[in-house]
Amino acid sequence: MRIPPALRSYTRGQDEVVLEASDLNAVLRALESSFPGIRDRVVDEAGTRRPYVNVFVNEELVMTPLGEVALMPGDVVHILPSVAGG
């Protein structure tokens, strides 16, 4: 998983972490167990993805609920903020 600069305070500066998980929700849970607090930056406590946070698997933007996105070994998950402004 690639970690954006704004969240590297949680990962002690790491820009990439390797996780084992079968879907995107499981990825976030695994991430949270290693880096407490980071999951809240991506989804709120109701489990909804924050409006201007995008999740990509490889280079594909995820448009469906995170739990519905299955992962394969070697997939790269990116978390990126939407472009701010216009």
Partner 1 sequence: MAGPYVPGATVYHFILDPRDGRTAYAAAPHGSEPWGPAVYRGRAGESLKATAHAPKFKDGSGLAVTRVWHLEPGPADEPETIYAGVEPAALFRSEDRGETWGDIDALNYHPTRKDWQPGFGGLCLHSVLVDPRKPRHLLAGISSVGTFESKDGGRTWTTENRGVRAEFMPNKYPEWGQCVHKLAWDGSGDGSIFQQNHCGTYHRGPDGGAWTEVTKGLPSDFGFPIAADPNRKHTAFVTPLIGGENRVFPKGQMAVWKTANAGKSWRRETKGLPANAFMGVLREGMSTDPEDPIGIYVGTNTGQLFASRDEGESWKMIANFLAPILSVNAGVAK
CB of 41 to partner 1, least distance (A): 4
Instruction: Count residues near partner 1 (CB under 8 A).
Output: 18
Work out whether the CA dihedral 68, 70, 75, 15 comes out positive or negative.
Answer: positive
CB of 30 to partner 1, least distance (A): 18
Q: Evaluate whether 41 touches 50 at the Cβ level (below 8 Å).
A: yes
Residues 21-80 that bind partner 1 (CB under 8 A): 36-37, 40-41, 44-46, 48, 50-53
Longest dimension (CA), the chain: 37
Work out whether the CA dihedral 54, 46, 12, 33 comes out positive or negative.
Answer: negative
Asked if 7 interacts with partner 1 (CB under 8 A), we say yes
Binding site for partner 1 (CB under 8 A): 6-7, 9, 36-37, 40-41, 44-46, 48, 50-53, 81-82, 84
